Chain A
Amino acid sequence: MSVAVYVPGDAAALALGADAVAAAIAAEAGKRGEEVRIVRNGSRGLFWLEPLVEVATAQGRVAYGPVTAADVPRLFAADFTQGGKHALRLGDIEAHPYLAKQQRVSLRRTGIVDPRSLDDYLAHGGGKGLAAARAMQPAAIVQAMTDSGLRGRGGAAFPTGIKWKTVLEQSAEQKYIVCNADEGDSGTFSDRMLMEGDPYCLLEGMAIAGFAVGANKGYIYVRSEYPHAIVALNAALENAGDWLADFSIEVRQAAGAYVCGEETALLESIEGKRGIVRSKPPLPAISGLFGQPTVINNVITFASVPDILAQGAAFYRELGVGRSRGTLPFQLAGNLKFGGLVEVPFGATLRELLYDYGGGSRSGRPLHAVQVGGPLGAYLPASQFDTVLDYEAFAAIGAALGHGGIVAFDDTVDMAKQARYAMQFCANESCGKCTPCRIGSTRGVEVIDRIRAGQTEQIALLRSLCDTMTHGSMCAMGGMTPYPVLSALNHFPEDFQ
């Protein structure tokens, strides 16, 4: 009987040489006359151990990592297909403290299942949410979402149940389910990992949403920088058979505009137009894609849905703190020793993630500033590392959790330069519809340049400009660019002198 060998096909594993490892394993097995079945799973999210190869043995899965193609002959010599001893042997990866301490919900199967196989998905507990939904009244499904306390994981944290209820209450010939997979924030990759590692979970969440609000058509808008995720989703859809019944899903490739992560710009883009932000109201729930009532949610929001229905809303609501219920997949990025995916209930502190999981800086220098929530998120100094990770606690310090991306910098960072970058990024990516964002960002770059050249009296002007952008912009692009700028200015004033 052939032995199943798991070699991740996740983009991060590929970037670290997983394809070469898979090819070397196939070649070496052939040479030795050993039968192996190579499965290209997703990543477990422990990137310093990638490519992380796992072998299915009678005693369970045994992991080895990080494996290079050159290691493969020696792994075979050490009988790794039977779980043999080797310097790279890690044993049961789920017993690794990094994973054992986590509480994975939305990414529970990512890195475990074969993303192309619906059977494997169902064998690992997938599909139960959809089956439960089909036995429920639409209003009861929406109520379960409300009861679970789930809030949008894209960054805005709007209660999912309220959004779905609004769409359910509309009467229209056609309604749509749209998945926002335009994960443009630097420091975030949970959407990518899920789409590449457990795409059926996303499809199931969308189908449940469709059933709940009366929509039979879904779109997944995926950024063009994620070609592997697009391939994985299309492969999953091709292998889905009639599992989703009359709910059809189409994958749409974005085209490199950051602002299309804003929901109304995203809808414009699917319609084939420039991704320009729409005025709200009307809300997309009332007049969304092609003018029809539309549920638009992030990948992780949809991926949280199947479990809520399968295990009950109470299961989800019992996790977390305050008004932040459930779990959030945090992404440890930038200058950290052990970067990766950490899904835990709300309520841990930033420090725990940075040090207990992240192991401090990769460079060995002190961690100096941490940007949470992508390019529109605030920079936090060490004095704020004990902030509790929940939406309200972050809002209270003028920061945002956003999509859960955590980017660490050591003490070589120049915070005035980072503030300039934030303005420049906004200038490059602004859709151009509103003046504070379109013009304000360019003026912001100029003002910061003057401050850095020594005209520190211009700091007052920068604050005033940020105030205009915050209160006068149409969407979060211009409205939140002041977060990184002002936090850099407030917490690291020495870099502006």
Chain B
Amino acid sequence: MNTKLQTIFAKHQGRAGALLPILHDIQHELGYVPEDAVQLIARELNLSRAEVHGVITYYHHFRQTPPGKHVVRVCCAEACQANGSEALAAHAAKRLQDADVTLEPVYCLGLCSIGPAVQIDETTLHAQVTPKKFDALMNELGDRK
């Protein structure tokens, strides 16, 4: 982890307000921001550990524990609610209860005309997801061992 962190720190050397970019890079690299990283980040940026911890815990995006093999996010904001996202979210929770998949709500993916919307592993998007379509997507993902 140390070498990876040093590479990331070097990349952001001298950048004003570098904490969020650094945290993004760490999470991108490791999947989460480990507790051990906090002290190193604090030292690098001349901040207290409390300040770094405060930022990590303030933002929904940053994780403090490793996610599952995949991260599935179901949009639960109003526009998707109008098209049945609540039932989809409940279905997803049931389907994924024993899977090595992190299920999270997300509040708007900007796909508000074609909801309910689902995001898989940050970049893959799916629209008009019914429970049936969700199952097909999860089968493809291999959520069941």
Residues of A within 8 A of B (CB): 11-12, 14-16, 47-48, 50, 183-189, 192, 224-228, 252-258, 269-275, 290, 331-336, 339-340, 362, 371, 375, 405, 407-410, 413, 418, 421, 425, 429
Contacts and interface: CB of A to CB of B under 8 A. Distances in A.
A256 B21 contact: no
B14 interface: no
Interface string B23-65: 1100000000000000000000100000100110011111000
Interface in B113-145: 113-115, 117, 119, 122-123, 125-128
B18 interface: yes
29 contacts: A11-B110, A12-B127, A186-B80, A187-B77, A188-B108, A189-B110, A192-B110, A227-B123, A228-B123, A252-B20, A252-B21, A255-B23, A255-B59, A256-B60, A257-B58, A270-B20, A272-B55, A274-B54, A290-B16, A290-B17, A332-B113, A333-B113, A334-B83, A335-B83, A405-B112, A407-B112, A409-B82, A418-B81, A421-B78
Contacts of B59: 255-257, 274-275
Chain B contact residues, majority secondary structure: loop
Choose among B16, B18, B51, B110 the residue with the greatest number of A CB atoms under 10 Å from its CB. B110
A346 to B, nearest CB: 21
Contacts of A271: 16-17
Choose among B18, B114, B122 the residue with the greatest number of A CB atoms under 10 Å from its CB. B114
Contacts of B78: 186-187, 334, 371, 375, 407, 418, 421
A271 B21 CA distance: 11
Contacts of A225: 106, 108-110, 119
A255 B112 contact: no
A173 to B, nearest CB: 14
Given A271-B17, A362-B83, A421-B78, A186 B113 contact: no
A331 B113 contact: yes
B79 A272 contact: no
B112 A15 contact: no
Contacts of A272: 17-20, 45, 55
B89 to A, nearest CB: 13
Chain A contact residues, majority secondary structure: mixed
Contacts, number: 142
Nearest to A375: B78
A273 B18 CA distance: 10
B93 interface: no
B123 A253 contact: no
Nearest to B77: A186
B79 A269 contact: no
Nearest to A340: B113
Interface in B75-115: 77-83, 106-115
A258 B17 contact: no
A451 B143 CA distance: 41
B55 to A, nearest CB: 6
Contacts of B60: 255-257
Contacts of B107: 184, 186, 258, 425, 429
Contact of B114 (A47, A185, A258, A409): A47
A220 to B, nearest CB: 13
Given A257-B58, A408-B82, A333 B17 contact: no
Contact of A274 (B45, B55, B80): B55
A418 B119 CA distance: 24
A29 B30 CA distance: 40
Nearest to A229: B110
A331 B81 CA distance: 16
B83 A226 contact: no
A275 B58 contact: yes
Contact of B111 (A12, A425, A429): A12
